[in-house]
A and B are shown apart, each in its own frame.
Chain A
């Protein structure tokens, strides 16, 4: 050993850290095998993974069948993705006539094209574009999908379905519920007793009941509310129900943001002589909404998941159409494949939304973290 070597003060060489604390071994010791309990937990977790993962992987990939047209091509003993493959277009478009499906595509492509500038920092006319998306685009989209004008073949809403219907309901629900929720939140905090009582009652009523009763109400009770002869179709009634339901949740989220704004901001706006609506739209709401973006995205995820409930009142959304396909006599016995595929699609949508909201949360988070 060279312990006897004499070093001048300050010239002692840096020794490497002990090998058991760095690299793979060090990481394993620090994270998996700290002590007996931890080691036991690790072993247990590994055992659970050993039990679950191999069968799942072999079912999903190794023994699965991907190519073919009929159920006869499924002989691997694993998942039969042929079923999904042959039904994919129906899962996306529902019973929308095949020749007209470009209209569904173009509706969504148009929306995506319009949304891209909204996320670009250099784009200057966001307010105009936003107004266009909010007010003009829905009209264009509706006529594109429903047809009946400009030589487009009319497609009844009963033929709409699949993933596109799910997206339509979610987007309409989100876009419609946001302004209503905003007004309800402002109303609930209003100093006028009649306004605040009305808004509080409205919010608590919708928040207190399950969505399914709201949908039942929209399908059974709405027709009774309307005068003789006037009747909306089922989809529009469901959309009204979903929008009102979500707006109550939206209102509570926005109210949380409004409450987080210090009183000085309200007083400052008043001192500048701004009217109520001006102080709200230029001072209070921009700050309040920034705080509650994660909550609003959370509401959107909730709504997206809740759109599945419309199948109970007889609309064929994505889940509804998958469920209907699993009962098709030609493809009986492939329910697991159908549901797993459906779950995967929903998961991708919801997970990416929640990741987006978390990234915003991190961006806005300026506190101390340990």
Chain B
């Protein structure tokens, strides 16, 4: 199949059907014709079927009134909103689930992954049991388990579990006090922003000083103090401009405060636990991939084990960890579509479920949904390529 070789001297004895270049063009033409014919066949069938069943085509339906409610909506939405609006509500719910799930899964996964490498036999075994249990049970089953076996049988709102004042857990969800900012709260936010900027500047200064003099600065404690202390000071100055609205039982349900639906909790918990078991394995493999010589050299230089992990092992392990980690994040985002099984209103549940049932415009709706997920995954893989290029070992 090499074109350079075939372009030999002019008196070639090769028959045209034996010439790799000709063959290559022939095969590609066959493939193209097949694909195009197949595509046109499907397109024709679909158009005929749609016309026969009287289903409208095009994206006009996005402006039509949806006429159904969605429990969880972060943007303004009611029954008279359009299908397009419902699409965005679903998309935002998907992204919310993905974001909160990624944060929780990363924290659990890193802790378990490091525990698996612990020298403590019991701890490493426990971590292994965690990983082997949760990654070998289908996610959908775990979602059902949390939803139907744990959260649904909780007591009714009247008999809510009330571990701390203002926090209620019952079969309608989790109820928390919500904070209401009053006058002067902007000052607190300004203080927080100043603190963050201060931390950034301080970190740069500490690095410069260490490079120049070798003296270290307790950046971590100083930043912690800045980020907590400065807003707290602002709170004291403005006289605590924050009031709490407690959830109160009225009739059959709670009113006020913030509520989190059991669907959200079930999906969030199971997604985090499931993905964490994969992340734990990635973290373990990444740390194990760092050559023993590295930690031995650090110990030989007199570096203690905590700084060895932080300054020597982790930066090298991250190079191995990040690519599969990103693909796990992507998996989590795609798996959040299982929401439709317990009716958490994510993109698939709202758009491919309810909207599809109401309008019947399968082709448009499924294409839009697939396009959304495709662009998320292409975005992440573009980020990965950029990251790999940036982090690749620079060798001589």
Contacts and interface: CB of A to CB of B under 8 A. Distances in A.
Partners in one complex: yes
Interface of A: 31-32, 34, 38, 41-42, 45-46, 48-49, 191-195, 198, 204-205, 207-213, 216-217, 220-221, 223-228, 276, 301, 305-306, 308-309, 311-312, 319, 323, 326, 333, 335-336, 339-340, 342-343, 346-347, 350-351, 354, 370
B348 interface: yes
A192 B363 contact: no
Contact of B119 (A38, A347, A354): A38
B123 interface: yes
A212 B348 contact: yes
Nearest to A369: B288
A224 B367 CA distance: 14
A301 B138 CA distance: 10
Most buried by B among A211, A226, A335, A336: A335
Given A210-B373, A221-B366, A31 B119 contact: yes
B120 A225 contact: no
Contacts of B45: 224-228
Residues of A contacting B: mostly: helix
B374 A205 contact: yes
B120 A207 contact: no
A335 B153 CA distance: 10
A308 B348 contact: no
B370 A319 contact: no
24 contacts: A31-B120, A41-B120, A45-B120, A49-B126, A193-B28, A194-B32, A204-B374, A205-B374, A208-B377, A209-B369, A209-B374, A210-B373, A213-B348, A213-B369, A220-B366, A221-B366, A223-B49, A224-B362, A224-B363, A335-B149, A343-B145, A346-B136, A346-B138, A351-B136
A31 to B, nearest CB: 4
B292 interface: yes
Contact of B140 (A34, A207, A308, A350): A308
Contacts of B335: 210
B24 A225 contact: no
Given A221-B363, A221-B366, 17 more contacts: A32-B120, A45-B123, A192-B24, A192-B27, A195-B31, A205-B370, A207-B377, A209-B374, A213-B369, A213-B373, A309-B338, A312-B341, A319-B141, A323-B148, A336-B145, A346-B136, A347-B133
B386 interface: no
B121 A31 contact: yes
B337 interface: yes
A211 B331 CA distance: 11
> How many interface residues does chain B have, given as a range?
35 or more
A336 B337 contact: no
B340 interface: yes
B236 interface: no
Contacts of B200: none
B48 interface: yes
B108 to A, nearest CB: 14
A228 B42 contact: no
Interface string B333-351: 0110110110000001000
Contacts of A311: 140, 341
Given A194-B32, A339-B148, A38 B374 contact: no
A210 B49 contact: no
Contacts of A333: 153
B118 interface: yes
A213 B337 CA distance: 8
A223 B142 CA distance: 32
Most buried by A among B119, B120, B135, B145: B120
A326 B148 contact: yes
A34 B119 contact: yes
Contacts of A48: 126
A194 B32 CA distance: 7
B282 to A, nearest CB: 13
Nearest to B136: A350
Contact of B149 (A227, A308, A339): A339
Given A45-B122, A198-B35, A216-B352, A208 B374 contact: yes
